[in-house]
Structure 1
Amino acid sequence: MNDEQLRLLTEKISMEFFGKPFKHAAFFNKRLRTTGGRYSLNHHHIEINPKHLEYYGYEELESIIKHELCHYHLHIEGKGYQHKDKDFKNLLVKVGGSRHCQTLPNSRNQRKYLHLYRCKTCGVEFQRRRQFNVKKFVCGKCKGQIEKVRSLSL
């Protein structure tokens, strides 16, 4: 499926389930990592993570589109478009969209590295899953300089 087919599908779902036209852009965005889709408040376009179509198929894609269209139509109408709003929750149930998308395998939650650091002054060692700039931070115990010892692959 390409971006044009996605836009046509979004327009079809909008008319079928919401009874209102979708007049903006809908496209795939490969950079989305932790979400199935995103609605832009400024430009009114919808971005979809193509990996959800790849892993879970058409039904998951349709559910994500319905979710984003709920944001779209409620925002355009000036109603509560956020996840916490009653208008959003009611419309989502009415059209059969999902509140959350399925988690992708090998998602960001599974880190690949463990970084080991040591204080040059007091010698305390600690581990981090994310790297950090040792020139910007000091030891929390003695305010000494920190050095990176090594990175371990998990």
Structure 2
Amino acid sequence: MEEKELQQLVEGISRSSFKKDFRHRALFNPRLRTTGGRYMLGSHNIEMNPAQLELFGKEEFIKIIKHELCHYHLHLEGKGYRHQDRDFKKLLEEVGGSRYCKMIPGARRQSGKRHIYVCAGCRAEYVRKRQINVKRFVCGRCKGRLKKTKTFFRENID
């Protein structure tokens, strides 16, 4: 699908499902990784992830377009356009849009870095993804001081 076809598809869905015109641009953004699409508040354009169309098909892609059009129309009307707003949830259900898009395999990279802390009092060991401030936090068992022993990557565990 080319951007011209995407523009026509979005305009058609807007007219049929929302009974309103879509007067801005719909474009593909291949840099999107973890989201199906996004509505740009400043320009009112909609950017779509082409991988969603390729991997999950047109039916799922249309649900994502409806989701973004909910943001678009509610924002232009001055109503609650954010995910947690009642107006957004109600309109999304009415038009049959998807609340969440399907995950693209390999889209989220998990950090393999781990930090190990040991209590000076009871020798309890704590493995954390994020570093902690040892001057501020203490052991949860005995309230002893924590000391960072090492940092490693998850692949090196075994």
CA contact (8 A) 1:36 1:48 kept: yes
Structure 2 distance, partners of 1:29, 1:129, is: 31
CA contact (8 A) 1:71 1:82 kept: yes
CA contact (8 A) 1:38 1:48 kept: yes
Q: In the alignment, which residue of structure 1 is the partner of 2:47?
A: 47
CA contact (8 A) 1:111 1:129 kept: no
C-alpha offsets along residues 22-67 of structure 1, whole Å, 9 cap, x if unaligned? 0100011111111111001100000011111111000111000000
Q: In the alignment, which residue of structure 1 is the partner of 2:104?
A: 104
CA contact (8 A) 1:70 1:81 kept: yes
SS of 1:63's partner is: helix
Task: Mark the runs of 5 or more structure 2 residues left unpaired by the alignment.
Answer: 117-125, 139-147
**Regions of 4+ moved over 4 Å:** 112-117, 126-130, 148-154
Q: In the alignment, which residue of structure 2 is the partner of 1:75?
A: 75
Closer/same/farther in 2, CA of residues 114 and 91 from structure 1, 3 Å limit: same
Structure with max Cα Rg: 2
Alignment of 1:80-91 (within 5 A): 80-91=80-91
Give the alignment's Cα RMSD to 1 decimal: 3.0
Structure 1 distance, partners of 2:43, 2:30, is: 19
Task: Mark the runs of 5 or more structure 1 residues left unpaired by the alignment.
Answer: 118-125, 131-138
Which amino acid in the other structure matches residue 19 of structure 2?
G
TM-score (norm 1): 0.74
SS of 1:47's partner is: strand
Tell me the CA shift for residue 107 of structure 1: 2.1
Structure 1 distance, partners of 2:97, 2:61, is: 10
Percent of aligned pairs with the same residue?
A: 52
Tell me the CA shift for residue 4 of structure 1: 1.1
